[in-house]
Amino acid sequence: MVWSAIVQTLYSKAASHHGGIKEIEKANHARFGQSKKYREIKKQGDFLYVGEQDFIQLGEDAGMFNRNARQLLHERLRLRNLCGHPTQYTPGREETVIFIEGLLLNILSGSWLAW
């Protein structure tokens, strides 16, 4: 649930920022324009067609946040996927607290978001 809140926050932030969707599309075209998986982004709902890992990269490319935020988000996404898929991985209490606290203090608070 925390990860879903993070992703929705990033989508909302990109959509509400003046020119945010255009900046994300510009980064999308630059990075994936020649790829088979490229899909043009015209509105917030189009973010759903971009994988979360790719969207995070586009957020950095577009200037929504910096490299440190991207690295944190990629690390948390990796852990979320490890726990959210049938891998038999069970995080401990401390790991869970670190996961949530890092995202709350740095992303949901907006402290690492430039937009």
Q: Where are the domains of the chain?
A: 2-108
Comparing CA positions, the residue from 11, 84, 96 lying closest to residue 49 is: 11
Q: pTM to 2 decimals?
A: 0.94
SS3 65: strand
- pLDDT tens, 76-99? 999 999 998 888 899 999 999 999
By the 8 A CB rule, do 4 and 107 touch?
no
Secondary structure class of 112 (helix, strand, coil): coil
- Give per-residue pLDDT as tens, 45-67: 999 999 999 999 999 999 999 99
- Is-contact 24 14, C-beta < 8 A? yes
